[in-house]
Amino acid sequence: MDIIKDLEELAEIISIAIAREKSSVEYYTKAFRKARTETARRVFSLLIEQEKGHEAKLRGQLHEINSEIEIERLKAKKKRSPRTSQE
């Protein structure tokens, strides 16, 4: 099991999800602008805020995963090049 590969795949999936959340924000923003009633505007406003929240949460998760990828790469690098002792 290659943990780095798995983490990179997860990062890619989350990146796609972020793009979809962003697209949803754009869609609901356009709908908000076209809404004719206050109720519709409130609903779209709520949806926009929810999607922005989802995007922010996903960005946080992506940051954590990218950090974990770097840690795993450093571990792998350390295993490949053992320290030479200088006596």
The predicted model scores a pTM of: 0.84
Average pLDDT of the residues in 61-86: 87
Task: Give residues with Cβ within 8 angstroms of 31, minimum separation 6.
Answer: 40, 44
Q: Tell me the residue type at 84.
A: T
Task: Give residues with Cβ within 8 angstroms of 30, minimum separation 6.
Answer: none
Domain boundaries along the sequence of the chain: 3-74
Q: CB of 32 within 8 A of CB of 41? A: yes
To 5 degrees, how large is the angle CA 54–CA 14–CA 3?
Answer: 140
pLDDT in tens, 9-65: 999 999 999 999 999 999 999 999 999 999 999 999 999 999 999 999 999 999 999
Cα–Cα dist 35/43, whole Å: 10
